[in-house]
Amino acid sequence: MNAVEIKNLSKNFGAKQAVCGLDMTVPMGAIYGFIGENGSGKSTTEKMICGLIPASGGSIKLYGKDYTDIDVRARVGVLIESPGCFPGLTVWDNMMLQAANLSIPNAEKEVIKVLKTVRMEGAAGNKYKNCSLGMKQRVGIAMALLGDPTLLVLDEPLNGLDADGMRIMREVFTDIIKDGKRSIIVSSHLLGELQKVATHYGIIRHGKMICEMTSDELDASCRTYIALQADEMSKTKTLLGCKYSRVEEDEAGYIRVYDLTTPEDVVTYLYENGVTVTEIMTDKIGLEEYFIDLMKGGK
Ligand SMILES: Nc1ncnc2c1ncn2[C@@H]1O[C@H](COP(=O)(O)OP(=O)(O)OP(=O)(O)O)[C@@H](O)[C@H]1O
Ligand SMILES: [Mg+2]
């Protein structure tokens, strides 16, 4: 059974169609990276999954049941925008208040458990307003985890985090799904970061899912290329352009050859034409470039 199965979902805001005919499948145990340009319909879709706004059409199934089912609703934790915290209260008091709102039994034990999951057990006494952005995001996730949900929906939780904050967040995500019982939907524009942790991806455009894949499938479909530097870069580029069909210079100043060939062939060809290669490697495009290609209509 899948955690989420969406068919033909639509949402209209007056004349504006924010989501139109969207299909989406989130398997259990997945960290599902939800990607799309600004205004493509990610937050709107997430709000519908969480029941925060009604759908205009289509179906959303959570664990095989309609998303309006009360039992299944209780299994969803959500962080969309910032958590509703009192700035002057401590993290602990904010958490206990939220636990009381949700009528969580054994509140103290439960709050300790979720604060531990998000690596905030040592900062429970901090006033919320004095927490760093990364800590605030993790308090939001801790709140979403109250009540032991099996599906977490997180809208842009990586925004504004520094490298260490990103690393902790990745660890938190991996921890949350490690027993295979929980799934996370996480929207983000930080594709390089998402790629380090996501197990599945969904790419949305103009309110429609244009592609869903696993991280293995992404890996397999990401083009490989040969990147090189040589003693005469502009001559090298011209020479390579005569033999290979797709030759580009990247931002780091390497010339990339995307054709199906080998580094040996490239080095030999350039050597025969009087160019010495100083550095050469093979690599793959990442999620970011894959996404940009997809948006341009290529692959
Ligand atoms: N309450 C609303 N009323 C009218 N239009 C809305 C409303 N909420 C969203 N929209 C519109 O629906 C479209 C999708 O918005 P949404 O916020 O879902 O996009 P997004 O993919 O989350 O974008 P971003 O990456 O900027 O967060 C946008 O054109 C947006 O302007
Ligand atoms: Mg959004």
CATH of the domain at 243: 3.30.70
> Once rounded to an integer, what is the mean pLDDT over residues 21-35?
97
Nearest protein Cα to ligand 1, atom 5 = 13
268 has a pLDDT exceeding 50: yes
Rounded Cα gap, residues 41 and 52, in angstroms: 14
Q: Which is nearest to 90 in space by CA: 136, 129, 134, 147?
A: 129
Residues 100 and 160 in one domain: yes
115 in the same domain as 63? yes
Among 12, 43, 52, which residue has the most ligand 1 atoms within 8 Å of its CB, making it the best to mutate?
A: 43
Q: Please, what is the average pLDDT of the chain?
A: 93
Q: Reply yes or no on whether the pLDDT at 290 is more than 90.
A: no
Q: Where does the pLDDT of residue 299 fall: very low under 50, low under 70, confident under 90, or very high at 90 and above?
A: very low
Spatial distance between the Cα atoms of 33 and 203, rounded to a whole number of angstroms? 8
Q: Which of 217, 248, 273 is the last residue of a domain?
A: 217
Determine the atom of ligand 1 nearest the C-alpha atom of 44: 18
Residue where a domain terminates, one of 217, 241, 266 = 217
Average pLDDT over residues 243-250: 94
CA nearest ligand 1 atom 16, residue: 41
- Specify whether 83 is located in the same domain as 229: no
pLDDT at 34 over 90: yes
Q: 158 with 233, same domain?
A: no
Ion ligand 2 residue ranges (Cβ < 5 Å): 42-43
Q: Which of 199, 217, 235 is the last residue of a domain?
A: 217
Are residue 117 and residue 77 in the same domain, yes or no?
yes
Where does the pLDDT of residue 292 fall: very low under 50, low under 70, confident under 90, or very high at 90 and above?
Answer: confident
Range of the domain at 232: 222-296
* CATH code for the domain in which residue 173 is found: 3.40.50.300
Q: Residues of the chain with pLDDT > 90: what percent?
A: 83
Helices (H), the chain: 42-49, 70-73, 91-101, 107-117, 133-145, 163-177, 191-195, 215-221, 233-243, 263-272, 287-296
pLDDT band, residue 293 (cuts 50/70/90): confident
Domain shared by 178 and 287, yes or no? no
Same domain assignment for residues 9 and 38: yes
Q: Is 117 exposed, middle or buried (0-12, 13-18, 19+ CB in 10 A)?
A: middle
Same domain flag for 42 and 101? yes
Question: Quick check: 298 pLDDT over 60?
Answer: no
What is the number of structural domains in the chain?
Answer: 2
- Between CA 247 and CA 227 the distance in angstroms is 10
What is the greatest pairwise CA distance in the chain? Answer: 76
Assess whether 211 and 226 both reside in one domain.
no
User: Is 282 found in the same domain as 184?
Assistant: no
In tens, the pLDDT along 202-242 reads 999 999 999 999 999 998 888 889 999 999 999 999 999 99
Please state the pTM of the whole predicted model. Answer: 0.87
Residue 79 CA to ligand 1 centre (angstroms): 16
Average pLDDT over residues 123-148: 93
Least confident of 30-39, 73-82, 229-238: 73-82
Same domain? For 151 and 272 the reply is: no
Q: Which residues of 230-253 are buried (b: 16+ CB within 10 A; e: fewer)?
A: beebeebeebbeeebeebeeeeee
Same domain, 96 and 213: yes
Mean pLDDT lowest for which of 172-176, 284-288, 294-298? Answer: 294-298
